[in-house]
Chains A and B, each alone.
Chain A
């Protein structure tokens, strides 16, 4: 089922967000990139609400602004206008340090090219978010090993990324994303660099985690088979959300 989406006016964050238990409440988000000669309107007043525990896929052609939207919602990028509330907090009003700390505690990231540090072992990569948020090294190590256990890689803890397959690397990335028990996990083409078998395995893992832990996932993807395993699919074009649909993965 596909419905036309209408941009909504900005609403009071506290009332709306609190009433519907929204973990993400983005309203009228505008992002423009400017170079010397060119102005690119990457996001033209996007509004998106995501309730806690939902898995949302964002799809659209290249350059439509889906990664930009993810970056803005996760606080990796600044917005020019609009409002983004994560867990009820206005992420764009935070100082850089506060936002960094917020990310470390509330968010996890899974990217297409894994972005693991090649010089650290799997377990060292996974424990990094814990260390930056002040967890004691011993405790961090234990939790990192548990996270690796969760993704089935405890035995590979001491291997470096170069010694792991693509699928294993992405599992390490997921373990790293989950180790802090974040409220939201952002995925930017999490299966984009994987073959079908590995991509399926990773999606099984993500869906399983969502079901078991009620983890919120926002996934940017080109792959319909990945999107269909989410609860909802949001379609974007030219910096706007043009439609959304309930995906096959939505609870009955």
Chain B
């Protein structure tokens, strides 16, 4: 992949390499200047092997997640691009009559391509253009083709394919650029000129579907006529062999295809091949496009650089995939960084006495930082390399699953990872760990020497509040005392900050000035990063944490209000509340009520914020995306963790009470619960880590469950059960009549067909050709003041459909008192129209398809919105008024711009195809009826499906992808589990003497082991329950917002099975991690343990 968050990956790599160099240089400086500190750090590594292993696991997890995400991105990029090159092969540009909106609606050529041509090109004109294009510098071939839909069957093998594409290619134009495009799977060239009458080529996909081989006889149904052919050969899937909007294709010489399709003298496209091969021909695309377009001036034809578009799409999709994986992996990465921090704090606790001794004999605080930094960097360099490698291994597994998922779409996923991505992942891993280790080391170095040597608790930090004198000076002294740290080399700080500010500004100026050289850009970015780091250090070194957070929080809230960005506002709010709590603690208020209140306030406010239920409209309406999800998760988890650790003693009473029923458990429970409660920091960190990952997993499951339920409701399909879609190559004007002619039993269909309204249970809907159907809100003008058209599915409603559909509407125009009033108006006035919920900005789930401006999903009513509907091929335009918006539920299957049949016929010469929506007396028969319709009309190529099955299939596919992402996010669980293990191993060492004492006074081995197991379970359980509860609370709030489904949902669904599975896995895994240290603890020799210091 070439870009990430819109930034060139090479730049990202260079900047990160710079940061890596800075990190290494820092430790290198320690090595050169203070080798003894470096050596102390390095020699600490092999002291405890099991612990070292866990540290490396903890350090590598972040790198693993990042490298897996990038490797998946590379794979997506490579696979999609490769697929584009393989399919297009020599085709670089396509010339056709094309909708003006196609370029804007985000669809690729293959998706947007219709099955039949709305505006064919005269063959003579096409031949003339082919000659002209061939004369263009940079073009080595051009060929005219026709294509059309058909149905096919291989009766000998009992296989039928209701929809295939018949491709007609002018064989005389294949010389030059397209000679290798029609190629058999065995690698030979297919010669169309030598193809005998009655013979046909088919591509690999069609051959697979029909189980057909060369020499087989197949029947093609086109224009409602059967034609028998002998297969001359199976071709590789390419555009020229019919792999276009659908995969299965047949190929004939142009004249024979025209005859079959009933379109003599017409072609649909001219395919252009640039000089050069499949890949390097792309380099000429820009200049060729310019020349081809100038050759087309004044004609309705347009050229698209399809290959370039597909390569760009591939880059965009792969960048999107990496973003999804990285953003969703952020929870795990955050948990990983907490783990690194915890590990180093615990290492410091273990070495506290020796650190105190070192300080006593003259080691400076900075030296302690250097020792830990050196040790951390050695772990880091190795762990990041292992993490990178394992990330690639994990991504291979994920790619295998992706390959199966995308196989149905004909996309061949092939694993691929670039050296650049590995370098980027490695650098991110090392730099993130370096920063975390440095921060931990800085915090660790701040010890009281006497307390450290005697291994007694640290004395309370900070000096006493200033003495009260007269009011005003006291207020100022208090404020100063609250805000500023007491001592330090202010001149050094100020000078460094000044240098950093000047350097940062100079770097910004360099970047802003024109187009600076690459090396200058890299240096400027590095200088900016360094300036930011210095500024952060200055703030930490100058201000007390509480006041810093509070003031910084207010500043961020103001930024959020100014820019309407919920992220800044929410971040600022969280910082403000935590900051105030720290300030109150600094003022010696009791910690339990302060931190409990801060936690509860944050929890409640984030829930209100997520649901858009704060008392402030301004705040409710702020913008936000995935980053808000991450921020809300982190804030809520931290808030809940504070509430838990400061109030968990209440749980102790409960557990003691419960445990008293089994008296043998009482001693184990007593120590198992007391230790985590006493070590608030450690317990809080572990709870937060597990809770973060559980939160992300449960949130994802719950939102997905509720999302799925929207489209599972009865409202999603209205009165219908089955949809039958005609094959455009074999149109069926009257489905009911045709079915009766073929002897189909219509009894299951709703309506008897003989009533006064002639209801036969079948309601047709007419679909306009997507390549020419465009809509535009009357007020929507582009920069030049002209109408700004968008390609959008336009559907014509038959009278039967208007009479029977009566879907629930999300919004109605003023003057219509009920949904029925809107449907009645649609029946009477051909100028009225409906749109689906996705056409509204942020409606339903937002998305690129929004075409309506000035209407919010929360608006209850609106003035009828004037819209223009256009056939871009003929230029016919019709004005209609949107008077209703379909509910989100029904918009899943029935998305489109719905106009009356009369209006449809006014704008479009003919529908591309007709969809028949079928009502049944008993919907449970939908699958059977669909199967019977398909088999009855097999030769007409009608495709019929149960609507419920369509929804289910879609959801199954989506579910597969989501499970995959959940699995990826689940990697983060190992962080929490590793934390439980690290703590358990550490506590065995730390409490060796206490364990000896417990054994001496009568604790059996079993009681000691049980106590350790229960202790870990207690912490893990708190994290698991906290994560689940927070996710469900937040999901409940989100599901009940209008942003989720305008108008609300009919319930909140909890995926209990998934939640229980995830929770049980996390719980059991944390128990497994504790088994070894528990056994160690229980088998400690008592006398030896009592001697241990």
Contacts and interface: CB of A to CB of B under 8 A. Distances in A.
Given A71-B1087, A100-B1002, A118 B667 contact: no
A118 B678 contact: yes
Contact of A131 (B667, B999, B1086): B667
B1002 A132 contact: yes
A5 B824 CA distance: 118
B1087 A137 contact: no
Contacts, number: 93
Given A71-B1087, A137-B666, A115 B1002 contact: no
Interface in A73-110: 74, 76-77, 96-97, 100-101, 103-105, 108-109
B743 interface: no
A131 B1001 contact: no
Given A67-B1091, A117-B671, A131-B670, 19 more contacts: A71-B1087, A76-B999, A100-B1004, A101-B1002, A101-B1004, A103-B1000, A104-B1001, A105-B1002, A115-B997, A115-B1090, A119-B677, A120-B670, A128-B667, A128-B1001, A129-B1002, A131-B667, A132-B1001, A132-B1002, A134-B664
A212 interface: no
B660 interface: yes
B31 to A, nearest CB: 34
5 contacts: A100-B1004, A128-B667, A128-B670, A134-B664, A135-B663
Contacts of B667: 128, 131-132
Contacts of B998: 117, 128
Contact of B1000 (A101, A109, A120, A134): A109
A177 to B, nearest CB: 8
Given A76-B1087, A119-B675, A131-B667, A103 B660 contact: no
Interface string B997-1040: 11111111111000000000000000000000000000000000
Contacts of A136: 660, 663
A187 to B, nearest CB: 12
A131 B662 CA distance: 11
Contacts of A67: 1087, 1091
Interface of A: 67-68, 71, 74, 76-77, 96-97, 100-101, 103-105, 108-109, 111, 113, 115, 117-120, 124, 128-129, 131-137, 162, 176, 188
Contact of B1003 (A68, A119, A132, A176): A132
A96 B1086 CA distance: 11
Given A120-B670, A131-B666, A100 B678 contact: no
B680 to A, nearest CB: 11
B1004 A97 contact: yes
B1001 A109 contact: yes
Contacts of A131: 663, 666-667, 670
A52 B876 CA distance: 116
B678 A119 contact: yes
Contacts of A77: 1085-1087
B994 interface: yes
Contacts of B993: 113, 115
Q: Which 4 A-B pairs have the closest CB atoms?
A: A104-B1002, A119-B678, A77-B1087, A71-B1087
B1003 A100 contact: yes
A24 B667 CA distance: 29
Given A120-B670, A131-B666, A131-B667, A137 B1001 contact: no
A133 B1004 CA distance: 10
A117 B1087 contact: no
B674 interface: yes
A100 B663 contact: no
Contacts of B675: 119
B1087 A176 contact: no
Interface in B951-1010: 993-994, 996-1007
A103 B1003 CA distance: 9
A155 B1002 CA distance: 26
A178 B546 CA distance: 48
B614 interface: no
Contacts of B670: 120, 124, 128, 131
Nearest to B456: A162
Given A76-B1090, A137-B660, A119 B674 contact: yes
A80 to B, nearest CB: 13
User: Of residues B660, B671, B996, B1087, which shows the largest number of chain A Cβ atoms within 10 Å of its Cβ?
Assistant: B1087
Interface in B1038-1093: 1085-1087, 1090-1091
B308 interface: no
A117 B656 contact: no
B457 interface: yes
User: Of residues B656, B994, B1007, B1086, which shows the largest number of chain A Cβ atoms within 10 Å of its Cβ?
Assistant: B1086
Contacts of A137: 656, 660, 663, 666
